[in-house]
Amino acid sequence: MRQEVDVAAMLVVIPVVCALVAMGIAVFRGRWLHQRRLRKGIRTRLDVIRRDLYRMADYLGRLHESDGALWRPFEHGLIAMAACQWDQAIEHFRKAQTKADGAQFVPIYNQTGVCHYVQGRPDDAIRDFEESVRLAKRYGDKLGEAAALGNIGVIRHDYGELGNALKKLREALAMTRKYGDQHAAAPYLANIGNIYRDKGKLGKALKFCEDALAISRGIGDKSGMASCLGNIGNIHRDKGELDKALQHYEKALAVSREAKDRWGMASCLGNIGSIYRYMGELDKALLYYEDALALEREAGYQVGVATELGNIGLILVDKGLYSRAVPTLAESLAILLATGVSRGSRQVLFGLSKCDDRLGRDRTQELLKQARLVDGTIADLLDRVDQMRLRRPRQRRGRRVPFVLRRLMAGSPS
């Protein structure tokens, strides 16, 4: 009789347990799919331009030990850089070149390249860095070679050449660890972390950024700490962990303010704006983007200016303020195309295509002319808009036939 009761109980319990297990699996799978969709959505959204917190490597070499005729103009260049006076800095470095000899050219070319990069002149910057590498190899300056290689890696990352960028940064990191102070490795570690994040290897990216943060904390480098905290925030953002991302961005902003680092403050403000953008709080996001834009303009960082203009324009599109969005997005796109930066152009063109849908081609052209764009630039921009419209997700799925198809099939020049 006891055995019969046990069997009967089991017949009742087993289905209940199975049902609970199935429910648990379903809940876990649902949460996993939600997080996966959220992560994918953040990485592929066309209404927000994502950004990294790069760190260019400064390199002074042994110039502080040189005579005053060389050190004074070089020092004045460094002071001008700290004040974001990039043209003046380059002028001082050119003067320093006339007094330099041998390996002394290595840091001068490196710092000139940093100035050109911030100004949005990446091709000039690469030429400076490559010359610094060439001279560093010639005179056996391994740390100077590492700095220039790492900076080339940052620009290659900007161009979307992830493999090439990673190779340069790994070379720079290896040289620094072998020949110099381990503390100098922080920028290379952080920038390698950025590449792995773009590759979707978030765990690996986090390890590199945390290692960089530990080094920056150890030497009291507040700008470095802020950069690393911001990049860790980027990783949490890509995971869909928006609250954690926001916490890291706010910490990074506080540290940047302590260091009076305008570049860092602008990056943090822009990233905080993007979090509120993801949360749907457009007005709050817009305030942060506008504050970031003011600092980017003040610092003369052209890629940052383009990023903030793009994000402001995309919010104006979502608010239905198309006439205000067009000149803002057009200014952003002009900078992005001139600098060759890979990220951002697609999002800006997406926003412009939506404006063109709503306003019509004639009104869009009129607004672009009011933004003081020349006819050839306007034609090129609108051609890019038409190509973007054909690739927009809604059209790819066949839900709507874009009016541009009718124009193209009819052979219309517009």
- pLDDT tens for 246-301 read 999 999 999 999 998 888 899 999 999 999 999 999 999 999 999 999 999 998 88
**Whether 163 and 196 share a structural domain:** no
Asked if residue 276 and residue 167 are part of one domain, the reply reads no
- Answer whether residue 275 is part of any domain: yes
Alpha carbon distance 209, 54 (integer Å) = 12
Specify the amino acid at residue 100. Answer: A
Residues 236 and 326 in one domain: no
Same domain, 260 and 364: no
Judge contact between 55 and 256, C-beta under 8 A: no
Decide: pTM greater than 0.85. no
C-alpha 181/C-alpha 147 separation (Å) is 13
The answer to whether residue 371 is domain-embedded is: yes
In a domain, 32, yes or no: no
Distance CA 211, CA 192 (A): 11
Residue 39 lies in a domain: no
* 90, 91, 95, 101 alpha-carbon torsion, rounded to 10°: 20
pLDDT tens, residue order, the chain (414 aa)? 444 545 555 555 666 656 665 565 554 554 444 444 444 454 556 777 766 666 788 899 989 888 889 999 999 999 999 888 999 999 999 999 999 999 999 999 999 999 999 898 999 999 999 999 999 999 999 999 999 999 999 999 988 899 999 999 999 999 999 987 777 899 999 999 999 999 999 999 999 999 999 999 999 999 999 999 999 999 999 999 999 999 999 999 999 999 988 888 999 999 999 999 999 999 999 999 999 999 999 988 888 999 999 999 999 999 999 999 999 999 999 898 888 877 788 899 999 999 999 999 999 999 999 888 888 888 888 888 888 887 765 544 443 333 333 333 333 333
Domain boundary among 137, 158, 180: 180
Query: Of 133, 156, 180, which residue is a domain's last?
Result: 180
- Same-domain status, 305 and 409: yes
Looking at the fold, whether 217 and 152 belong to one and the same domain comes out as no
Q: Which of 136, 158, 180 is the last residue of a domain?
A: 180
- The token pair at 408 is 């193209």
For 7-20, b where at least 16 C-beta lie within 10 A, e where not — what string?
eeeeeeeeeeeeee
pLDDT at 164: 95
Residue 15 lies in a domain: no
How many CA atoms within 13 Å lie on the side-chain side of 234? 33
By residue count, the chain amounts to 414
pLDDT recorded at residue 344: 81
Judgement on whether residues 314 and 273 belong to the same structural domain of the protein: no
- In this prediction, residue 32 carries a pLDDT of 43
Number of domains in the chain: 3
In a domain, 42, yes or no: no
Residue type, 111: Q
The residue with tokens 């905080």 is: 272
Helices 86-97 + 68-82 axis angle, to 10: 170
Report the C-alpha gap between 312 and 330 in whole angstroms: 12
Same domain, 257 and 353: no
Same domain flag for 273 and 320:
no
**Contact between residue 239 and residue 39 where contact means Cβ atoms under 8 Å apart:** yes
Cβ(345)–Cβ(337) below 8 Å? yes
Whole domain around residue 222: which residue ranges?
Answer: 192-295
> φ, ψ for residue 368 (rounded to 5)?
-65, -35
Q: What is the pLDDT of residue 29?
A: 52
Planar angle of CA 159, 160, 165, nearest 5 degrees: 85
Residue 414 has a pLDDT of 31
